[in-house]
């Protein structure tokens, strides 16, 4: 095992206006790699994770089924690995993003689609590694990592100006 292993990515489109799959695959790869390196996330070599690009209708169904919330959301994470194991893998889990919500939030927050997409991928992969934001101390740790990775990728603090 090596501490700097990076996951193999399977990026697929289920539904939605994800017209430029190469663009979103490239953004995913950069965000995942930077997150794994800067957060020093440990995984087995050849660990795999999925990124599913979908629409509001499909993510609404997933959100209802898995979180009991009957509304679309921007990102969901489905970890496969036990949160208590230090080294994850060989299957990490899936991150699911909804195009319409992503696009609307980016416009509302005056961010580029690429910037907001990258932030949500970072946020989602941290959830796959057991990070959470339900308790203030945990949220502060998770947000600090997200800010660090976003800056590494050339984007501003995603929480600056957030209410």
List per-residue pLDDT tens for the chain, 163 residues long: 344 678 999 999 999 899 999 999 999 999 999 999 998 888 888 889 999 999 999 999 999 999 999 999 999 999 987 666 777 777 889 999 999 999 999 999 999 999 999 999 999 999 998 887 665 566 788 899 999 999 999 999 998 876 5
Residue 88 DSSP label: B
Q: Where are the beta strands (DSSP E) in the chain?
A: 8-13, 48-54, 75-79, 91-98
Architecture of the domain made up of 8-152: 3-Layer(aba) Sandwich (3.40)
Distances (CA, A) of 137 to 84, 123, 140: 18, 16, 5
pTM of the model: 0.91
Q: What pLDDT score does 160 carry? A: 86
131: tokens are: 């990070």
Distances (CA, A) of 85 to 74, 82, 131, 140: 27, 6, 13, 22
Q: What pLDDT score does 4 carry? A: 67
Q: In whole angstroms, what is the distance from residue 78 CA to residue 99 CA? A: 18
């Amino acid at each position: 095992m090596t501490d700097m292993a990076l996951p193999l990515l399977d990026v697929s489109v289920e539904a939605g206006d994800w017209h430029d799959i190469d663009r979103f695959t490239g953004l995913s790869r950069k965000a995942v790699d930077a997150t794994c390196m800067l957060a020093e996330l440990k995984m087995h070599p050849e660990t795999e994770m999925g990124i599913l690009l979908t629409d509001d209708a499909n993510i609404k169904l997933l959100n209802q089924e898995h979180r009991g919330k009957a509304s679309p959301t921007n990102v969901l994470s489905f970890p496969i690995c036990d949160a208590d194991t230090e080294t994850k893998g060989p299957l990490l889990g899936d991150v699911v993003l909804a195009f319409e919500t992503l696009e609307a939030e980016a416009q509302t927050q005056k961010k580029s689609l690429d910037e907001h997409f990258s932030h949500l991928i970072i946020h989602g992969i941290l959830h796959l590694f057991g990070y959470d934001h339900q308790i203030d101390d945990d949220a502060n740790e998770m947000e600090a990592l997200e800010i660090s990775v976003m800056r590494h990728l050339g984007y501003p603090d995603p929480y600056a100006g957030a209410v």
